[in-house]
Structure 1
Amino acid sequence: MKDFFRRRIVQPILNILKQGMSPRKLAATVAVGSVVGIIPALGVTTILGTALAARFRLNIAATVLISYLVQPLQILLVIPFIKLGIFLFGMSEFRLTIDEMMDMFRMDWVGALGTLWVANLAGIAAWSILSLPVGFTLYFSFLPLFNRFLPVATVPVEVTTEL
């Protein structure tokens, strides 16, 4: 079972990640994919990851794969990001207990959706504030690791002799 997992899941993922990338590009790919993968807005990771990978000339497939691999963290961090956004923007009137949200939906579901939309925007704003420091930290954390374990591509040198 362990060999099957390694051969069918781990090795193909590693092959995609190592495919023609320098350690710097791979560290940037992991950092961008990880940061994009935890955005507290469900359904935008693929579009945002693809756009950022294309803009910075990273491996698009690897960036999206990394963002998908960290999506369990996205689910775990949605509420903390929203609470941080509410705190940062002084929106203390928002409550996030399940009972209060259910009461909001019972009374006025359109108003509840609007309230939760604004709270989610506060969470996205908190994510955007934290994304650059977290991204740079991930990049500079993974760079020495990838420099050590990935082979450095050698560029053939052309030798010319002039007579």
Structure 2
Amino acid sequence: MKSKLVKLWNTFKTLLKQGLAPKQLAMSLVISTLVSIFPMFGVSTIVLTCIALPFRLNLPIMIAFSYIIEPLKFLVLIPFINLGAMVFGTEHTLLTFEAIKASYELSFFNTIKTLSYELLCGFVGWTLTAIPSGIIFFFFLKVILTYFDKLKTNQLTTK
């Protein structure tokens, strides 16, 4: 088990060393995080590909990091929905499996409509928190990665 983790970590380090500038690497990690916690399931790889290719970001590291961060989506989904519901000044109803199942048994289309509204609330909550947090996270990562890049450069020149 430990050797698999070491192998995974070495693969991750290799991807990080693919020659990207600290700014591009920070952007890759931040965008990957933001897309991964977006309150819609099953779209992250496609969205990451559509963002990474035109901006020449590190797609392999973005997808790998996305898979690592994906479980975080389950932790932030309900708070995003609650924040969006607060913004709209409404109550949400279908936040438990039992409520969704009971609603589905009554009316499929009403369930879809209600769940769509819950996702809209989640999108609003994500926009209000993830975007500003992502901007802060980007500048923080950029400073850290620039520091490590300069440290690595200094070590190479002193050898």
Q: What TM-score does the superposition give when structure 1 sets the normalisation length?
A: 0.82
Q: Tell me by how many angstroms 1:143 deviates.
A: 1.6
CA RMSD for the aligned pairs?
A: 2.0
More deviation, 133-142/100-109:
100-109
2:2 is matched with: 2
Aligned identity (percent) is 30
Q: Which runs of 5+ in 1 are unaligned?
A: 153-163
1:125 is matched with: 124
Q: Tell me by how many angstroms 1:13 deviates.
A: 1.0
Structure showing the higher helix proportion among its residues: 2
Aligned residues: 151
- Structure 1 residue 21 corresponds to structure 2 residue 29: no
Question: Which of these two proteins has the greater Rg computed from alpha carbons?
Answer: 1
What one-letter code is carried by the residue in structure 2 that aligns with 1:87?
A: M
| Residue in structure 1 matching 2:94, options 96, 100, 113 | 96
1:56 is matched with: 55
Q: Deviations over 1:11-63 (max 9, x none)?
A: 10111122111111111111111111111100111111112222332112222
Native 8 Å contact 2:83 2:124 kept in 1:
no
Native 8 Å contact 2:79 2:125 kept in 1:
no
Matched residues in 2 for 1:127 and 1:23: separation? 26
2:135 is matched with: 136
Matched residues in 1 for 2:59 and 2:51: separation? 9
Q: Tell me by how many angstroms 1:4 deviates.
A: 4.4
Native 8 Å contact 1:18 1:26 kept in 2:
no
Q: What TM-score does the superposition give when structure 2 sets the normalisation length?
A: 0.83
C-alpha change, 1:5 and 1:97, in structure 2 (3 Å) is: closer
2:111 is matched with: 112
Matched residues in 1 for 2:48 and 2:99: separation? 34
1:155 is matched with: none
1:44 is matched with: 43
